[in-house]
Structure 1
Amino acid sequence: KMGVKLEVFRMMLYLSFPVTMFWISNQAEYFEEYIVKRKVSIYFLNCSYLLRKELEEFKERMRVRKEERMLKDN
């Protein structure tokens, strides 16, 4: 008799862990707090990198134009 109760307990334990983890990870508060904020921070880091890259390209174009003007003037 005790073997059946023990097996039922083990089965409930084995099933409750993944179900509980699935339930916790699908909570809206958890999703918003960790996933959305992380994606936003990653997006803005990439944007700042892209803006910095554009700025460097602009500076290089301006430097080349200035050099061309100086060569024309001479």
Structure 2
Amino acid sequence: MATLKEVQTKIGSVKKTRQITKAMNMVATSRLRGAQQNMDRFRPYAEKFEEVLGSLAEKSGEEASPLLVPKEEVEK
């Protein structure tokens, strides 16, 4: 059977591990929030870019540039 000192040491280790895990979770949450904000700020530019490319594709006629043709899905 474990002694009182060993049990207290284990409890302390678990508390420290929980504290580290909580801190890591907070950091991950903060980084995710920042990435979401960046994505939200970029969205208007992406939509306008898509609109401009669509307009170019419509005006290019039958012979579309290879850069404006969507790529086919490739199975891996």
What's the TM-score once normalised by structure 1's chain length?
A: 0.56
Select which of 27, 34, 37 maps to 1:63: 37
Structure 1 stretches of 4+ with a deviation exceeding 4 A read none
Residue segments in structure 1 that go unaligned for 5+ positions in a row: 1-26
State the structure with more CA Rg: 1
Select which of 18, 31, 34 maps to 2:6: 31
Residue segments in structure 2 that go unaligned for 5+ positions in a row: 49-76
Q: How many residues align?
A: 47
Bigger proportion of residues as helix: 1
- RMSD, aligned CA: 1.6
Structure possessing the higher relative contact order (Cα contacts under 8 Å, 6 or more residues apart): 2
Identical positions, percent: 4
